[in-house]
Amino acid sequence: MSKKAVYVAATRQHVGKTSTCLGLLQGLTNRFDHIGFLKPVGQQSVIVENNIRVDKDVRVAKEIFGLTRCDYADMSPVVIPPGYTRDFLDGKITLESQLSKIRSSFDRITSQNDVRCTGHTGVGSIVNVNNARVAAELGVDMVLIANGGIGSAFDDLSLNRYVDLPSFGVLHVRASALCQQYGVRVRGVILNKVRPNKVDMMWDYFPKALQEWGIPLLGVVPDLPRLAQHSMMDFEHLFKTTLLSGHSRRMKQYNAVNLVTSGLRRFLVELSSNQFNDTLFVAHASRNDIILGFLSHSQNYELKTGQEFGGGLILTGLPPKDQPQDYTMDIISRANLPVLYAPYTTFDAMDMMGNFTGAG
């Protein structure tokens, strides 16, 4: 097994694979000069430099940690766009061609970096590139992520240690599949999203549950509200768009989302109360009064306090009719405030945000 790479997988969806990988990358960058990251198979993709399509988690990792020794193409060797599964089932794409891409990308990243964090596939069973197969092909050990109470987390780990469940769209992928069959060594377990008042108990009892497997408990991450708060970069990915302004603040997190349905006067009164400084406001793109009021309040706040106003603004509306007008766009572009236009109806945008789990 490679001693300088680890494969991060999880027992189910939405347990925090991406956030855990980012945490590992943060710790590694404090200890090593050159860190590599690769997500072998991805489904939710974005377009980056040179018109390359990569998994959204790859873009986050590269931008946050400045992974200059990792090329985008190598960090996301297999991306599954619409129609990919049909092509695989029709024989147009083979298992070996996918594994070859992954191996070549891994080798290039390995040659350029001291330590590699190989991200979860997230998807892949339907095209035969499940987590255990990929980890075995790359010769790397695995770290498993689980969450919940002692019983549920252990049941998930037990199932994932031996069994692989296929994914056909609606069925859930058990991410750490067939570790035993493929001879993949599980080096440790990280418990994520644990209730803060249960952290000590998990440290006391979970290692005992893992004793029969000879696997250590590496960490217990509490479920803190701050960890679940989204940034403008998250919403850029969600709405597949980019900020209109305030790019330097795209990592700012918000503790609440507030749909503006009131008139300008009431909106300004709410802003002046200073109770919404970390709030992300959502307004229809036709509400020029709200847009200008938000920008004006933000400017006055920063002039008076000398501090950045912490609010953000998302504008909604279907193009071409319901989108910010040219003169409004000109004003927005000159403001250093995080403003984003989501080309969806207000209802759809709010629904997407309500169901958004981010990069977890």
How far is the C-alpha of 316 from the C-alpha of 285, rounded, in Å? 5
CB distance 190 to 219 below 8 Å: yes
pLDDT at site 281: 97
Looking at mean pLDDT, say which of 51-55, 105-109, 146-150, 184-188 comes out highest: 105-109
> Mean pLDDT over all residues of the chain?
83
Give the H/E segment covering residue 297. Answer: helix 288-305
pLDDT in tens, 177-197: 467 778 889 898 898 888 888
pLDDT at site 194: 86
- The pLDDT of 80-109, averaged and rounded, is 91
CB distance 328 to 242 below 8 Å: no
What is the DSSP secondary structure assignment for residue 184, as one 8-state letter? -
Q: Which residues of 12-34 are buried (b: 16+ CB within 10 A; e: fewer)?
A: beebbbbbbbbbbbeebbeeeee
Domains and CATH numbers, the chain: 2-227 (3.40.50.300), 229-354 (3.40.1390.20)
Comparing 102 with 151, which gets the higher pLDDT?
A: 102
> Tokens at residue 6, please?
């680890």
pLDDT in tens, 142-174: 888 887 655 555 555 554 554 333 332 222 234
CB distance 75 to 39 below 8 Å: yes
pLDDT in tens, 278-305: 899 999 999 999 999 999 999 999 999 9
Give the H/E segment covering residue 58. Answer: helix 56-65
How far is the C-alpha of 103 from the C-alpha of 110, rounded, in Å? 10
Comparing 211 with 305, which gets the higher pLDDT?
A: 305
CB distance 222 to 199 below 8 Å: yes
